[in-house]
Amino acid sequence: MEGGRRVGVAVDFSPCSRKALNWAVDNLVRDGDHLILIAIRPEGNYEEGEMQLWEVTGSPLIPIHEFSDPAIMKKYGLKPDPETLDIANTAANQKQVVVVMKIFWGDPREKICEAIDKVPLSCLVMGNRGLGKIKRAILGSVSNYVVNNGTCPVTVVKQTDYES
């Protein structure tokens, strides 16, 4: 990945991750950048040799034309929604950016921080689910963890109550 910045966006194909992706494309990404969608899958017992190999390092960088193909994404256990794919394809075409996806397996907090260093990312944009105080205390906030432990600038795009 020569030249340009590596702008990461954590995606889980939820409304809040789409909002973060939209925000990144509208406000941050510029011509010549690489837009890297970071997806985290839960750990599991994967039968396939490829999954076992990638569990530690994450998947190879998957170009947009491949992660737009449902058959290829089924192999990774992901089902990107049409809106996320549309935002990514539009960014690739209109802003002349390279769009790729990298998938990690494990705890989202740790794996997003790993992605920052392994890719490496110039900056990261992520959404938050807007957990209430009690749920956040029990479950912990992924975005809060990444803001405090990530080694690059992290922007959190908040989900407002009226958008839920």
Domain residue limits, the chain: 10-163
pLDDT tens digits, one per residue of 1-33: 556 899 999 999 999 999 999 999 999 999 999
Question: Would strands 62-63 and 98-105 be described as parallel, antiparallel, or unpaired?
Answer: antiparallel
Give the tokens for residue 155.
Answer: 């922007």
CA separation, residue 32 to residues 7, 35, 94, 136 (Å): 11, 10, 11, 37
Q: Where are the alpha helices (DSSP H) in the chain?
A: 15-27, 49-57, 64-67, 70-76, 82-94, 108-118, 133-139, 142-149
Give the tokens for residue 82.
Answer: 């049409």
Question: What does the mean pLDDT of the chain come to?
Answer: 86
Mean pLDDT confidence for 44-61: 69
Residue 74's pLDDT is 86
- CATH architecture of structural domain 10-163: 3-Layer(aba) Sandwich (3.40)
Give the tokens for residue 75.
Answer: 């192999």
CA separation, residue 133 to residues 129, 130, 147, 155 (Å): 12, 9, 18, 20
Q: Which of 3, 13, 18, 15 is nearest to 91 (CA)?
A: 18
Residue 164 in this model has a pLDDT that exceeds 80: no
Q: Which of 164, 2, 3, 7 is nearest to 99 (CA)?
A: 7
pLDDT tens digits, one per residue of 77-136: 888 999 999 999 999 999 989 999 999 988 999 999 999 999 999 999 999 876 666 655
Q: Which residue has the higher pLDDT, 140 or 73?
A: 73
Q: Decide: pTM greater than 0.85.
A: yes
pLDDT tens digits, one per residue of 38-52: 999 887 655 555 566
DSSP H or E segment with residue 105: strand 98-105
Residue 66's pLDDT is 93
Identify the DSSP state of 77.
T
